[in-house]
Amino acid sequence: MGHESGLVASPRVSSLPAVEHRSSRASRWLHERRFRAALFVGLLESLLVVLGDLRWFWVVAAAAVAVALYLLLRRRLRSATLREVLWTLAASQLIALVVPVLWELVKVVAIVVLVVMAVILLALLVLDR
């Protein structure tokens, strides 16, 4: 640091994360693991949709409700643990919504590629006569 700034470089800067105000041990534990939990729940729901055991409109409804709850209650809840649970719920529902959409998109692209290949092969067979 420069002499004019009046700041001193400290060799003892902590690399540990700061503890948020009004956070409990449970909320910190959930915060550290919320993304993995959301991915796990979202993956399970996505598999149920893709394999046909769960209808897609239920996933859309659940995602809409979960995201609306999170957006409405995130600032009003005093409990950091409940905020983390709501975030995990909303994120998992969005993942469960996105994966089947991507699955259908990939299927459509694969079908289009197969149709284009079939047209090209048919044209080659017709032109080969």
- The rounded distance, in Å, linking the Cα atoms of 69 and 91 is 12
**pTM listed for this prediction:** 0.66
- pLDDT class for 15, splitting at 50, 70, 90? low
The residue among 1 and 7 whose pLDDT is bigger is 7
Dihedral, CA of residue 14, residue 18, residue 24 and residue 25, to nearest 10 = -40
pLDDT of residue 1: 55
**pLDDT higher than threshold 60 for residue 14:** no
Spatial contact of 56 and 50, defined as CB atoms under 8 Å apart = no
Q: What percent of the chain has pLDDT over 90?
A: 46
**pLDDT higher than threshold 80 for residue 105:** yes
**pLDDT higher than threshold 90 for residue 129:** no
The whole-number average pLDDT for the span 80-92 is 92
pLDDT of residue 80: 87
First to last CA, the chain: 82
- The rounded distance, in Å, linking the Cα atoms of 96 and 73 is 21
